[in-house]
Chains A and B, each alone.
Chain A
């Protein structure tokens, strides 16, 4: 009886996992295939023949290329800045105990739960008020603001998992606080920091709701370009653009995972318990 219910359960779980994969991957697969559609007009799936035409179109469009370039620039820069500031903040919060500490932590997390449109609109008003009208700097400000909770949070979790005795052992051996940070704390929190950077970058690359408010005609990201093209001239260049965006994300994740992943392989059993 027990065996039977266990078997049933395991079958059910497998079906569920299968369904998740299907609904996650099928739309992506369709978009990828459609981006290679040889027909010059938007028509039903599947395409009768394949070509690179939409990619040619994408890479010869100044409008898209500008969006792509700015996306890479804003995502890269804002992730780097969010990483440095998020890590510093996390180290500070992790080390010190003060009243209202948890309040500060939740405050830092706020951009994650406040809708992007709200942040975008509020930030637009605020930045105009303090005299920042340039689209690029507005985008940077918005992306850093929303990327930082990721780097902050994952670093904080990474730091919390390091036993306090490690830092104490290092200090007893003669390392001062700064040396302890560089030789013990940072190497051990690296996985958390990198995870945060991946999340931050993926968010930044993908964001449309926030960026829509902060873009201007000269400075816009790729997702914003895709949205406005969808209104103006809906064709499969958007599918090609989506695939480029997807490829970019995948490349970054693989790159980052490779660096951290390798490290983890070298340090077998690094995270016991």
Chain B
């Protein structure tokens, strides 16, 4: 039995369809990232699981029980809000212990549980402080401790790290992952940050315009995006579009306008259909010298028009004779930065090409 189960959930606010027919489930101990741009409906899904919004249709099960008509306090949940929502008039200790009195814990037990939680987030020394006297990172940890204290079936985190500055966010992300790994609850993290989603989640759900685009393990979503939207939202990408050549021989290739052709597997691809080819920037190689031809390697000429040092990486933008611009990310291994204006050869392994059927333009 899954801890959380969403079955055909839809939600509309007046004429606006915020969530359309979403189904997924999360097991106990699993961390699921709900990833998408702002306004994609991910927060609405979180609020429906919490009971702050009522689905227009569909069912939500928590620990096997139907949640329809149940108030938030009748569900066994814990939430970390984007603004943390710590009670400013209570101390850290009182904040963490707030939910325990409503869960019928005797005071001695509640006290022990508060200490346990504060230990978990390493804030025991600040138990008498008020939220206003804490740093952003400390507030985030108190919010997490408070949400976990009541042993919820589901823990919902709404953009848990977005209020922190970049450096602290990385630190807390690692810490959060560690704490969440010890939690037996089903955890759902809502975020618009793909790195956060991929690093925290055991599985990632990518959403767009109220619909689920793809569900899968982080690496699967990155390496094999189901749609162009997913490929573009998760990581960076270069695109070619082309037509599938004769697929009958079992060895079809996609021929692009730029004179490139990529061998494609034939998983039911139809001859003559349009396809998009996505190449991740780190899978493109820049050759300062013409490379020796290798089987399965696609090479073509381009001219560097921009190159930047990013520290661990080099970012190069090159333009093909057709005018198409491509982004290349190279690991910094001490090589020279190629000056703009240099003619180079770009290449990629055909196996690294991600082939996605073009969305029918007439319908979209």
Contacts and interface: CB of A to CB of B under 8 A. Distances in A.
A188 interface: yes
A184 B52 CA distance: 18
Contacts of B99: 172-175
Contact of B72 (A172, A267, A272): A172
A169 B81 contact: yes
Interface residues of A, number: 23
B359 interface: no
A174 B89 contact: no
B45 to A, nearest CB: 15
B132 A173 contact: no
B205 to A, nearest CB: 21
B38 to A, nearest CB: 17
B173 interface: no
A92 B79 CA distance: 26
Contact of B102 (A165, A175, A267): A175
A171 B133 contact: no
Given A173-B99, A173-B146, A176-B73, A269 B132 contact: yes
Interface string A158-198: 00000101101111111110010001100110000000000
B77 interface: yes
A179 B103 CA distance: 13
B103 A176 contact: no
Given A187-B89, A188-B89, A268-B132, A163 B73 contact: no
B85 A163 contact: yes
B183 to A, nearest CB: 16
A266 to B, nearest CB: 8
Contact of B79 (A163, A168, A176): A168
A168 B52 contact: yes
B19 interface: no
Interface residues of B, number: 28
Contact of A172 (B79, B86, B89, B132): B79
A173 B71 CA distance: 11
A187 B52 CA distance: 23
Contacts of A176: 71, 73
Contact of A267 (B79, B85, B89): B89
A270 interface: yes
B1 to A, nearest CB: 22
Given A267-B88, A269-B130, A171 B81 contact: no
B50 interface: yes
A133 to B, nearest CB: 47
Contacts of A267: 88-89, 130, 132
A183 B89 CA distance: 10
Interface string B45-88: 00000111000000000000000000111000111011101111
Contacts of B103: 174
B102 A168 contact: no
B98 A173 contact: yes
B88 A165 contact: no
Contact of B73 (A171, A183, A271): A171
A165 B83 contact: yes
A225 B89 CA distance: 45
Interface in A243-270: 267-270
A165 B99 CA distance: 15
B76 to A, nearest CB: 8
Given A173-B78, A173-B99, A168 B85 contact: yes
Nearest to A269: B132
A172 B78 contact: yes
A187 B88 CA distance: 10
27 contacts: A163-B85, A165-B81, A165-B85, A166-B87, A168-B79, A169-B146, A170-B98, A171-B51, A171-B72, A171-B73, A172-B72, A172-B99, A173-B98, A173-B150, A174-B102, A175-B98, A175-B99, A175-B102, A183-B98, A187-B89, A188-B89, A267-B88, A267-B89, A269-B131, A269-B132, A269-B133, A271-B88
Interface of A: 163, 165-166, 168-176, 179, 183-184, 187-188, 267-272
Interface of B: 50-52, 71-73, 77-79, 81-83, 85-89, 98-99, 102-103, 130-133, 146-147, 150
Given A170-B98, A172-B78, A173-B98, 17 more contacts: A163-B83, A165-B81, A165-B83, A166-B87, A168-B79, A171-B51, A171-B71, A172-B147, A173-B73, A173-B78, A176-B71, A179-B102, A188-B89, A267-B88, A267-B130, A268-B133, A269-B88
